Chains A and B, each alone.
Chain A
Amino acid sequence: MAIDRRDFLRITGLSLGAGALYRVAPALAGELAPGDLARSQRAAHGEAVTPFSFVQLSDTHVGFSGPPNPTGAAAFERAVAMVNALSPRPDLILFTGDLTHDSETPGEPAARMRRFKEIAARLQVAEQHAVPGEHDAGLDGGALFREFFGETSSAFDHKGVHFIGLDNVSRARPEVGPAQLAWLKQDLARFPKTAPIVLFTHRPLFDLKPEWEWFTRDGDAVMNLLEPYENVTVLYGHIHREDVHQVGPVRHLAARSLVFAFPDPALVADKKPIAFSAEHPFRNLGLRVVRAGPGKAPRPAALSIDEVELTMREHSGTEGFAQLLRPTSL
């Protein structure tokens, strides 16, 4: 299971120019020596979880330009620079959909996917995985996404953690569909109930706000398949704001976007982007750094989550649209 914040919460703050980095750190297993823990975990669960970090980037919407964000892909490019400055470097990147903003101009969707790949290629992290958002795959069933990025759903293992990328957009409606549910069931069956699992997808798998299309029609079916597993974390995007929601043992974490933010649906009636601020052009945008490591026995893994709001360049110490337009020295 992901960390129990009440028992293990520790917050430190660092100032980076106009922004701040908050870190929530788990207490690691204290009873066993690290080597003993690794051996016992390997015996119980297969590959041991050795510490590593990864980054979730979401909703870059490359190609979008409008009043909520007139800066194009500047936030995405800034996020790339911030990821490249992380130490230690993350092992992998997860993109949770809406990589591009849809267009019906012939040739433009492909051009936007190429542009996305150009920016993503600057990440000094070789292993990158993506699931589509509805803006990437909703109009053509994911055909173009597959040309550029491969299958819309996938699964892989990394240092003892099983990752599952789930597609809940390509069927045009917010759903996973029976074929993918069958694939998910088959995939999960390979793992013990205590295996650390990170599932990444685009839309929320629960009814967060159906009136804003923040849900998945067969999300309950997905959650029923995950229910027996004790150590599942779901990372998703789509809602352009942070959110934390617990369903049984599963924690669902929505990420900030890299284009514009939506408000809290509990506070407003209309789904309208938060207005752009020339003084703070990256306000409410951000990325997520996840550190995985051995958990406190009997849990095989713990995830430490850093929610990082985008900042301007560290050396400037100031924010602003004007600064954004100055040539970068990085």
Chain B
Amino acid sequence: MNSTASPLRWIAAAALALATLAVVRGAQAEPPTVVAISARRFEFSPAEVTLERGQPVVLRLTSLDVTHGFYSKQLGLDELIEPGKVLEVPLTPGEAGRFTIICDHFCGAGHGNMKMVVVVK
């Protein structure tokens, strides 16, 4: 019997087991929270959402009437929400604070004040 190879085999086996466990646990990880946001002239609903810093979410965006913009330079959001379509946008907020998302696709007289707030804690 080779007394040097046996401990190495055990170490390799243990490492393989740990790696397998990590992959399985990864496959079973919680999917990101979905935050549903709808847009219609001239408001987003909900008007305010609260997210956790570093926690990935998926913003599920829909429009109830016309095309709306969904823009925030600080959050890196720049989308067009078209009626009849569902748009899923991943977001992982990098810093805490209070951020405004605006509609930047002109949608009528009340467009200038169409916005929502994201609070990141």
In angstroms, Cα B112 to Cα A217, docked, is 16
List chain B residues, Cβ under 8 A from A46. Answer: none
CB distance from B11 to the nearest CB of A (A): 56
B108 A139 Cβ-Cβ under 8 A = yes
In angstroms, Cα B69 to Cα A141, docked, is 16
B69 A173 Cβ-Cβ under 8 A = yes
A211 B111 Cβ-Cβ under 8 A = no
Give the residues from 79 to 121 in chain B that come closer than 8 angstroms, CB to CB, to chain A.
Answer: 100, 102, 104-106, 108-109, 111-113, 115
Say yes or no: is B73 at the interface (Cβ < 8 Å to chain A): yes
A173 B104 Cβ-Cβ under 8 A = yes
Query: Binary interface profile of B, 47-78, with partner A (CB < 8 Å = 1, else 0)?
Result: 00000000000000000000101010100000
In angstroms, Cα B104 to Cα A252, docked, is 22
Chain A interface mostly: loop
Number of A-B contacts (CB under 8 A): 38
List chain A residues, Cβ under 8 A from B69. Answer: 173
Say yes or no: is A135 at the interface (Cβ < 8 Å to chain B): yes
In angstroms, Cα B32 to Cα A187, docked, is 50
Say yes or no: is A138 at the interface (Cβ < 8 Å to chain B): yes
B108 A213 Cβ-Cβ under 8 A = no
B105 partner, pick from A104, A135, A173, A212, beta carbons under 8 A: A173
A139 B73 Cβ-Cβ under 8 A = no
In angstroms, Cα B112 to Cα A272, docked, is 10
In the complex with contacts A173-B69, A210-B102, A211-B102, A102-B109 CB distance below 8 A: yes
B112 A139 Cβ-Cβ under 8 A = no
Query: Binary interface profile of A, 189-210, with partner B (CB < 8 Å = 1, else 0)?
Result: 0000000000000000001001
List chain A residues, Cβ under 8 A from B106. Answer: 134, 138-139, 169, 172-173
Nearest neighbor of B99 in chain A, beta-carbon distance = A211
Nearest neighbor of A135 in chain B, beta-carbon distance = B109
Nearest neighbor of A102 in chain B, beta-carbon distance = B109
Besides A102-B109, A173-B105, 16 more A-B contacts (Cβ < 8 Å) are A104-B108, A138-B106, A169-B106, A172-B67, A172-B105, A174-B104, A210-B71, A210-B102, A211-B115, A212-B112, A213-B102, A213-B112, A217-B104, A271-B112, A271-B113, A272-B113
23 residue pairs of the A-B complex, CB under 8 angstroms, read A101-B109, A102-B109, A103-B109, A104-B108, A134-B111, A135-B109, A139-B106, A169-B106, A172-B67, A172-B105, A172-B106, A173-B69, A173-B104, A210-B71, A210-B73, A210-B102, A211-B102, A211-B115, A212-B102, A213-B102, A213-B111, A271-B112, A271-B113
